[in-house]
Structures are given as structure tokens and as C-alpha cells.
Amino acid sequence: MNTLVYRLEKEQTIKTVEDLSSLESSIRFFVNYWVYDGVVYENKGNYFTDDQYVMELYECKGEEPYDDAIEKAPNTIEYRLFHSDRKVVKESIKTDLDDVMLALSLDSVTIENDTYKRLSLEFDEDRNVFVYYLNG
């Protein structure tokens, strides 16, 4: 099992998560943004040191979690158009992390006969939800 430390600009530790599987650690490395305690952070990279993984973050000032966000089932993926309203166009609940990783790894998705490219990914720790941003 792995330990992951979320660190703001190599200085301040924001959160430490212990006992993560390698798959869950990899999924967290894969996302571009992370939401925790009402703050949006950008993933600037990760590394391994002192028997733990570290994700370096940058606080995205001016960005806020969604007003329409509600708590959902674990491993829910929200597909949101990347517009000013960023509305949810589809939701998918995955039963295990293998399915989550596979879904997030896709470069594009087709929803109601329209194909969208992935722009970025987010993990909202506050709601335990993944957000897949679509061009639109």
C-alpha cells in the first residue's frame, strides 16, 4: 500500500492519504485538478521520496467547486462540457477502480452521437467524484 502526500509548492502539506493501492495512486496522478476542502488545485507533477509519493500542487485562485455539485456514489464520473456553465451532460458510476482508470484514460467519448475530446480530468475529493471535461 502507498502513502500519497499532497503538497503545495514543495512546502505546505495539505493532506496525506495512506493505504492507497497502486491503481488508486496512479489514478490520482493521472488527473489534472484536485478539489479538497472547497479549494481547487492544479497537479503540477509527482515524485517518490522517503518511501512516499508526493503530488505537487498549485492553488487555482479564482476557481471554485461547482454550485450544482452534490454528493454522489463513490467512483461517479461526471462528464462536463467545458463552457462557462460546465453543465453535466452524462454521469457514469463505476463499480471498481479498474473501470474508473479505463474510462478516464479515453482520449474521447461519444455521448448521444456526438464525440468529444478530453480536455482535462479532476478528482473532487470533497465529493469523491471524478470530472471528465469535454471540448464543446
Question: For residue 33, what is the DSSP state?
Answer: E
The DSSP bridge partners found for residue 122 are 33, 131
Grid coordinates of 133: 471535461
**Residue type at 112?**
E
Backbone φ and ψ for 27, nearest 5 degrees, come out as: -60, -45
pLDDT (0 to 100) of residue 88? 80
User: Which segments in the chain show pLDDT lower than 70?
Assistant: 10, 66-69, 84, 136
